Amino acid sequence: MCRDHTSLSLRAPARQALGALENAGYEAWIVGGFVRDALMGRASGDIDIATSAPWQEAARAFAAQGLRVHETGIAHGTITVIVSDEPIEVTTYRADGTYTDSRHPDTVEFVNDIAADLKRRDFTMNAVAYHPRRGLFDPEGGVPDIEAGLIRAVGDPSRRFGEDALRILRACRFSSQLGFAIESATMRAMESCAPLLSRIASERTLKELQGFVCGEHVYDALMACADVLASVIGELKAMKGFDQKTPYHIYDVLEHTAYAMQNTPAYPLVRWAALFHDMGKPRTFFTDDAGIGHFYGHATVSVELAEPVMKRLGMPSALSSDIIELVTRHDDDIEPTPKAVKRALRRLGGRVDLFRALCDLKRGDALAQAPHCHNRVALADELDRALDAILEAEEAFSLKDLAIKGGDVIALGIAPGPEVGRLLEEALEAVIDERVPNERAALTAFVRMR
Ligand code: ATP
Ligand code: MG
């Protein structure tokens, strides 16, 4: 997996930033995720530099080269330099002091060697330094861990998670994004420190969780991290090991959920909806006389459980209301006929994107069931094709497609108000059911008859 360790490809702006610090007489290394991703042959994200230069000196060195600098975190010794439009974070070597809030060091101590700086980083895979001439510097053993696909805390895991509980969620997120396993002592410490997650700001928790749900390896990561994540999303505990006792399912509710997520495309709306879609199953479960499990109304209960979680996480309301819509409708039977699809679109407020997402969710859900249910994927494909045909033919399925508007209804002598909307909805229903053509004269006549 690892490329030639001594020559990672480094973009020109990174070389220029290193050069500026070195010309001023300081030491500098590329560190963190960029090195990790480059070693894995993955597209690398932001570039981080660690340097012996105090931040004021680093800022002076960059300014001397005509580079723009932003003081993005000077309390922690961090500035951001812009090189050819690329922002590069530059942080003075530091060791963190004590932590009392499970998130931020009370003090930071600037140190003068890179080894001490690497020790304060979260995981060995993120504690590797690289320099184009000096090659890799890996005192924490990050390179072998990257090769083995392992997430391992730097130093004593319990102490590190006790200092900053966000690291627990970072481990879950990295596991989902990179497909890495979490080393066992690190995982044990994550589980025992997980209650500290309640102290993490909701926006940070949400950001890490969203990275987690959208990871390429979310199945493995959810199966491995469910106990930890249950500190944030309590119902995961009840889902784990919950036997569904139905011929449609061969997995417990948690594993079914993990497969459903893995089998949906990686965008937040559908991945969150997949996470929540069956959360209500343990609470609605009962067995009939034949011992078969049923979950009537589980979608509604899933919504009831998901809503407070999303609220607590401060999820944007537009996203959470779309998630609720998908969870509510994930089990709706929709015939792949133009009429039925248009009715479903109308129920979704004419939202084509939501309908597509519902198809994605249905496909993922089907693939996570017993193999004999996988043919339901074809049904979701048919729904997608039926929608294509409706769009192609420009058929009406929402009020904005209707050949009459509110003004036309008012012109018929209806007082402005809710009655206008109701009549338009009736007209739309009639058009979708093919009782009235979507034409102005026909629709005006229809409304006049109501
Ligand atoms: P990515 O950007 O792909 O999410 P990354 O590893 O670059 O991953 P960043 O959040 O950009 O993560 O942080 C850069 C580096 O800073 C990390 O690689 C790690 O060395 C260090 N770091 C970040 N957050 C923490 C933390 N909470 N505790 C300790 N070290 C951290
Ligand atoms: Mg990064």
pLDDT number for residue 6: 58
Ligand 1 contact, 169 CB (< 6 A): no
Which residues, 6+ apart, have CB-to-CB distance to 303 below 8 Å? 276, 280, 324, 327, 328
Listing DSSP states for 155-211 in one string gives: S-HHHHHHH-THHHHHHHHHHHHH-PEEPHHHHHHHHHHGGGGGGS-HHHHHHHHHH
Ligand 1 contact, 122 CB (< 6 A): yes
Q: Which residues of the chain have pLDDT under 70?
A: 1-6
Residue keyed to tokens 């995981």:
123
Instruction: Look at ligand 1, atom 11, and give the residue with the nearest C-alpha.
Output: 33
pLDDT number for residue 297: 84
Ligand 1 contact, 73 CB (< 6 A): no
- Is residue 370 a contact partner of residue 249, using CB atoms and an 8 Å limit? yes
Ligand 1 contact, 71 CB (< 6 A): no
Ligand 1 contact, 33 CB (< 6 A): yes
Q: Does domain 396-449 have CATH number 1.20.120?
A: no
Residue 102 DSSP code: S
What is the rounded end-to-end Cα distance, in angstroms, of the chain?
70
Ligand 1 contact, 126 CB (< 6 A): yes
Domain boundaries, the chain: 233-395, 396-449
Distance CA 423, CA 409 (A): 8
Ligand 1 contact, 164 CB (< 6 A): yes
Residue keyed to tokens 């002598």:
413
Substitution site in 35, 72, 121 for ligand 1 pocket (most atoms within 8 Å of beta carbon): 121
Q: Taking the CA of residue 378 as centre, how many other CA atoms within 13 Å lie in the half-sphere pointing to its CB?
A: 4
Which pLDDT tens digit goes with each residue over 235-287?
999 889 878 778 777 888 999 999 999 999 999 999 999 999 999 988 787 77
Distance CA 188, CA 179 (A): 19
Which one of the ligands is nearest to 166 CA? 1
Listing DSSP states for 21-39 in one string gives: HHHTT--EEEETHHHHHHH
Which one of the ligands is nearest to 33 CA? 1
Residue keyed to tokens 């690892």:
2
Instruction: Look at ligand 1, atom 5, and give the residue with the nearest C-alpha.
Output: 33
Which one of the ligands is nearest to 173 CA? 1
Distance CA 182, CA 265 (A): 24
CA 20 to ligand 1 centroid distance, Å: 23
Which pLDDT tens digit goes with each residue over 105-153?
888 889 989 999 999 999 999 999 999 999 999 999 999 999 999 999 9
CA angle at residue 154 from 151 to 160, to 5 degrees?
Answer: 105
Task: Please report, rounded to a whole number, the percentage of residues in the chain having pLDDT higher than 70.
Answer: 99
Which one of the ligands is nearest to 32 CA? 1
CA angle at residue 282 from 264 to 268, to 5 degrees?
Answer: 25
Closest ligand 1 atom to residue 37 Cα is 3
- Is residue 67 a contact partner of residue 81, using CB atoms and an 8 Å limit? yes
Closest CA to 76 of 92, 60, 61, 88: 92
Instruction: Look at ligand 1, atom 2, and give the residue with the nearest C-alpha.
Output: 33
Ligand 1 contact, 138 CB (< 6 A): no
Ligand 1 contact, 121 CB (< 6 A): yes
Instruction: Look at ligand 1, atom 17, and give the residue with the nearest C-alpha.
Output: 32
Listing DSSP states for 327-368 in one string gives: HHHTT----SSHHHHHHHHHHTTT-HHHHHHHHHHHHHHHHT
Instruction: Look at ligand 1, atom 8, and give the residue with the nearest C-alpha.
Output: 33
CA angle at residue 115 from 110 to 121, to 5 degrees?
Answer: 75
C-alpha dihedral, 236 to 242 to 245 to 248, nearest 10° = 30
Can you tell me whether residue 131 is helix, strand or coil?
Answer: strand
- Is residue 96 a contact partner of residue 105, using CB atoms and an 8 Å limit? yes
pLDDT number for residue 1: 42
Residue keyed to tokens 């495309």:
265
Which one of the ligands is nearest to 122 CA? 1
Distance CA 33, CA 31 (A): 7
Copy the structure tokens of residue 186: 């690190």
Closest CA to 223 of 251, 178, 258: 258
- Enumerate the β-bridge partners of residue 94: 110
Instruction: Look at ligand 1, atom 14, and give the residue with the nearest C-alpha.
Output: 32
- Is residue 149 a contact partner of residue 2, using CB atoms and an 8 Å limit? no
Which pLDDT tens digit goes with each residue over 214-231?
999 999 999 999 999 999
Closest ligand 1 atom to residue 46 Cα is 2
Distance CA 355, CA 382 (A): 12
CA 20 to ligand 2 centroid distance, Å: 21
Closest ligand 1 atom to residue 127 Cα is 20
For domain 233-395, which CATH number applies: 3.40.50, 1.10.3210, 1.25.40, 3.30.160?
A: 1.10.3210
Ligand 1 contact, 140 CB (< 6 A): no
Ligand 1 contact, 117 CB (< 6 A): no
